[in-house]
Amino acid sequence: MIEALLKQLEGLVGSDDFEFESEEIIEKLKAEGAGFEIVDNLFSIMEKHPLDDFGMPGAMVHFIENYYPDYIPLLISSVQRSPAIHTVWMLNRCINGKNNTEKLLSVLKDIANDDSLDKTIKDSAKSFLDYQTGR
């Protein structure tokens, strides 16, 4: 059932009802007993849809952030595999939380300097990096 709900969630990405319906699916995932073990699946959905809006912060992020700071290594792995607007934003939120700041700033810098990335993602990382370093 958890796998089916994750597929349903991914199928909604980009729809006008994503924010509302994703909340319902996340609640169903919780009711099924889903926990930290699906955090990487949620990051994978964001990686596959790097320019989509998942809410601010949205049900997926609220779910993931229940596992702060334990999810940070998974977030780092996700943005190193395939950064998305939303995961870069989450990286910035973690830096604001003063947890593992040096490593997170290094990852953010790598994204900001990666010419192979979509300009929107790269510019977002650069903007957050400038903010975090006082530039």
CA distance 134 to 29: 40
Listed in sequence order, the residues at least 6 apart from 71 whose beta carbon sits closer than 8 Å to its beta carbon are 36, 39, 64, 65
pLDDT in tens, 33-91: 999 999 999 999 999 999 999 998 999 999 999 999 999 999 999 999 999 999 999 99
CA neighbours closer than 13 Å in the CB half-sphere of residue 113: 6
Listed in sequence order, the residues at least 6 apart from 131 whose beta carbon sits closer than 8 Å to its beta carbon are 92
Nearest to 82 by CA among 124, 46, 128: 46
Which helix (DSSP H) or strand (DSSP E) does residue 108 occupy? helix 101-112
Domain that holds residue 92: 2-133
**Residue given tokens 């996700």 in the structure block:** 78
Query: Where residue 32 falls among pLDDT bands split at 50, 70, 90?
Result: very high
Find the Cα–Cα–Cα–Cα dihedral 113, 116, 120, 121, rounded to 10°: -60
Both structure tokens of 77? 């792995």
Does residue 100 carry a pLDDT above 80?
no
> In the chain, how many domains are there?
1
